[in-house]
Chains A and B, each alone.
Chain A
Amino acid sequence: MDRIKRWARQILAHLDIPLLLVILVLMVFGLLTIYSATASGGFAKLDNQLVNMAVALGIMVAVSQTPPQKLMRFAVPLYLTGLVLLVGVALFGIVVNGSRRWLSLGFVRIQPSEIMKIAMPLMLAWYFHKYESVLKLKHFAIATGILLLPIVFILKQPDLGTSLLVGAAGFFVIFLAGLPWKIMFGLGAAAGAALPFAWNMLHDYQRRRVLTLLDPSSDPLGAGYHIIQSTIAIGSGGPFGKGWLEGTQTHLEFIPEKHTDFIFAVFSEEWGLLGNGILLLLFILLIGRGLMIAAAAPTLFSRLLAGSITLVLFIYAFVNMGMVSGILPVVGVPLPFISYGGTALVTLMLGVGMLMSIHTHRMLVKK
């Protein structure tokens, strides 16, 4: 008994309670909204998501027990594996819905770009950590190379959403590592200049998404339909919402992808501005806690990793809510902890686990 108690206490010791509480509240919101969005189909989706959450929580707990030094050891192999698999996708990938994103390993299909979401911040944090004392501009250049290489492959698939998330994860590491402002602005200007070329490289459907964002009514039955319907859902929700299970836009199937990428429209219609405010507050608490963990982290690796993971969480939330409410183009980014789906949740909780590990192992490092 005692041993079990001690073991349990040890496990608990590596969990960050504020972080866990916020995430659990978000998950409850997620479950309620998924139920509302899929009520016509019974409890099937809800049950699945409960399993997804249990698995993801388990992974989070496991990762939180793993000290950051150990995590660091995974950086290079994971990055290289991810890169090899991405090349594999480009060569042998399976095309689903016009995108080559999946790789079949015989018994299971995997999406290697998902691995990069974790591998990228790990790899760059490891890299900067390694050259911490001798950090020069050269290293920033190499880091940028490490960042861009897999992104080129992911963009080619094409997968704008994942490219954005992987790119953000990498960029935040480089930014937090202290990339000089001058260079940042310089690169920003260069990127702006390169925009027309980038526009030419975009696929037709991606261009259409951007154009539709600028004027959704230009294509009300085609690409604009999603945005128009989700904006109607949000707007008609009003200050206090229509009430749980009462969203007409949701229940009459006007909202596409309503339990996955567009779940925020469902939430917003039923919970109103009040619900949205609470949701934003929860994310601010989550991100605030993450940034505190980053600021308090003892090593450069853990600082950069924690910072990047936290800010990527923000990117998820901002891009998702931004696209559903019609101020950002539609890219495939789920609303963290709320959207239905196991893969994204597991990746997110891996990140949260790392945050917890970084925070709860800081004393040990100092010792």
Chain B
Amino acid sequence: MGDFHHNEQDLERFRSRVLIAGAGVLLLFALLFARFFYLQVLQHEYYTTRAESNRISLVPIVPNRGNIVDRNGVILARNYSAFTLEITPAKTLGLEETIDGLAEIVEIQVKDRRRFKRLLEESKNFESIPIRTRLTDEEVARFAANRYRFPGVEVKARLFRQYPEGTLAAHAIGYISRINAKDVEWIEENGHTANYKGSEHIGKVGLEQHYEFELHGTTGYEQVEVDAGGRAVRVLSHTPPIPGNNLTLTLDTKLQQVAEAAFGTRRGSLVALDPSNGAVLALVSAPAFDPNLFVDGIRFDDWDELNNNPDKPMLNRAIYSAHPPGSTFKPLMALAALTQGKRTTTQAIADPGYFNFGNHRFMDDKVGGHGMVDMWKSIVVSCNTYYYQLANDMGIDNIARFMGSLGLGSRTEIDIPGEATGVLPSPEWKQRRFKKREHQKWYAGETISVGIGQGYNAYTTLQMAHALANVLNYGRVFRPHIVNTIQDPSSGEERKVEPQPVRQVALKPEHVDFIKRAMAGVNKEGTGARAFAGAPYESGGKTGTAQVFSLKGQKYVAGQVKERLRDHSWFVAFAPVEQPRIVVAVMVENGGFGAASAAPIARQVFDYYLLGKLPGGPAPEVEAPEDGPQQALENGHGQD
């Protein structure tokens, strides 16, 4: 019986323990359920987002960049598709071994390796970097057969930028190159970061830079479902990219060719404008560079060559190099005098061959002077004395005000970046320019050299062409522009760039016409006559010479001065005189007299533009005009 009780007791205890265990089971399961409730109800949205971002990856599709064509439809920049061999460093087993292995299959030169190394330094480890571009079909096939040996290496079909005309108009067109950290900042500042996902190239110079956001297009994307290994499983949605806009230029490729060829091996720049609307017909900076070199990352030796070349081929001389305009300044001075009522056209001076101011004697370029000189003659024979007096009578403030109204000393706002402002001298400018008190004061003597385009004067070739165009246009100022229309390739819609004048300078037509006639005289019987001998059209021009360094009283003889220290040669011109269709400014570095070096270039450009006549070779140097034996001056030795 005791046993039975014992058993009963045991059974009771057992059952109570089973109950306790059962309660524990329910409690812990309730805990689990609470956890599930927390995850699946309270935190459901959070985890849904996490699951979605786990699985969905946005793959950007880079749009086709817009093409650039000249006014006649000649292609200057386009895209073509080619195969590249690319390495994602993070996915390779060993970078050096991979490249060595690849070199056995496709040709990889030392310069390819160098470029790869440079790109590697600029990019992140998981980016795909080209080791070879433009693979041949055979190379693609050979790699495909060996692909398994090279994890992290892929052949990709990519669009490349191509500039079919090579160096032609390179400074105007610019180039694209790989996006660097500074570009990323710029993109961010402009709020385009999202649109550049996946983009690897960006316009660096010229139109490619200025119109970057027009040319780029809108990036499309694919929503791709990816698995845990990052492999795309399927495409969920596809938003196609919108190709970038095409640019049609005002530039005339043929004219550009003629202008570039006219320079030959000389350094310098030329800007040709249509004076009626500011359209740029040609923009030369010689020597030029080949923009194609930059597209897939410039090779080290090419870069070295471009950077260390003493001729500075990367420099856009037409818009960035500012020089004293020399005598090309004189027609503008004459117009200023007429406009401000300081001279009439018939007022004449007796030129003794010098102009005395205080203790200084400013020399004319002709010993003994030009005799009686009125305004017409002052331009045709380029008389310094006339302008020494004129400048002194006008005063620097009047000169600066007038020249400033024509656009000198400020950016023309042409649609390529990197323009220099130049220097429009004035007492205010001097005060800003110099820090020391004693340097800030403006001396009346300085005004006198400004009057003949020397002294502190410094303008770009573009500014000189622009100022003359503004005069020829009777004061209507157009912004110079290279792009004529921007075309949306998908809709065909075209936007024309700025046909309206930006401001009007108050000029009297009869004053302008007088200046035009006087400049026509230059090409007929003055300093430009030799270069324009026998031209079947009537043109106007003005030569100029800008000194590179002061000889301090010695006589300037071109042959005795080192080539790089020789004077710069200027020529501004327009044609035909009645209804000017083209205006040019030419600057030949160290070209000597403007009449000798720069004027013949303008002649070739006009001959082609007005007559369709192609020159036989670079513009010849013509002899300096007889009336121009160069006299050493204190402030400007070479005036013609």
Contacts and interface: CB of A to CB of B under 8 A. Distances in A.
A276 B36 contact: yes
B55 A325 contact: no
Interface string A235-250: 1111100000000110
Place the interface of chain A in its size category. 35 or more
Given A176-B18, A276-B36, A314 B25 contact: yes
Contact of A280 (B13, B32, B225): B32
A280 B54 contact: no
Given A238-B41, A272-B40, A327-B35, A248 B47 contact: no
Interface string A44-88: 000000000000000000000000000000000000000000000
A29 interface: no
B15 interface: yes
B10 interface: yes
A198 interface: no
A201 to B, nearest CB: 26
A291 interface: yes
Contacts of B54: 229, 232, 248-249, 252, 254
Contact of B21 (A176, A231, A280, A283): A176
A268 B36 contact: yes
Interface string A266-306: 00100011001100100110011001001100001001000
Contacts of B25: 284, 287, 311, 314
A318 B28 contact: yes
Contacts of B226: 252
Contacts of B37: 273
Contacts of A235: 39-40, 43-44, 46-48, 50-51
A233 interface: yes
B3 interface: yes
A178 B14 contact: yes
B29 A318 contact: yes
A253 B226 CA distance: 10
Contacts of A175: 17, 21
Contacts of B52: 236, 248
A318 B32 contact: yes
Contacts of B26: 284
Given A175-B17, A254-B54, A325-B35, A239 B41 contact: yes
A252 B228 contact: yes
Interface string B300-337: 00000000000000000000000000000000000000
Contacts of B44: 235-236, 238-239
Given A249-B54, A252-B55, A288 B22 contact: yes
Contacts of A252: 54-55, 225-228, 233
A291 B10 contact: no
A325 B29 CA distance: 13
B229 interface: yes
B434 interface: no
B29 A236 contact: no
B435 interface: no
Nearest to B233: A252
B519 to A, nearest CB: 76
Given A133-B3, A133-B6, A235-B48, A178 B17 contact: yes
Instruction: Identify the 5 closest CB pairs spanning chains A and B, nearest first.
Output: A235-B47, A236-B51, A252-B227, A235-B39, A253-B228
Given A132-B10, A176-B17, A252-B55, 20 more contacts: A229-B228, A234-B36, A235-B47, A235-B50, A237-B40, A238-B48, A248-B51, A252-B226, A273-B36, A273-B37, A273-B41, A276-B33, A277-B33, A280-B33, A287-B25, A291-B22, A307-B14, A307-B21, A311-B21, A318-B32
Interface of B: 3, 6, 10, 13-15, 17-18, 21-22, 25-26, 28-29, 31-33, 35-37, 39-41, 43-44, 46-48, 50-52, 54-55, 225-229, 233
29 contacts: A133-B3, A176-B18, A178-B13, A178-B14, A178-B17, A232-B51, A233-B51, A234-B36, A234-B39, A235-B46, A235-B48, A235-B51, A236-B47, A239-B40, A239-B44, A248-B51, A248-B55, A248-B225, A249-B54, A252-B227, A253-B227, A273-B40, A277-B33, A280-B33, A284-B26, A287-B22, A295-B14, A311-B21, A325-B32
Interface of A: 132-133, 172, 175-176, 178, 229, 231-239, 248-249, 252-254, 268, 272-273, 276-277, 280, 283-284, 287-288, 291, 294-295, 300, 303, 307, 311, 314, 318, 321-322, 325-327
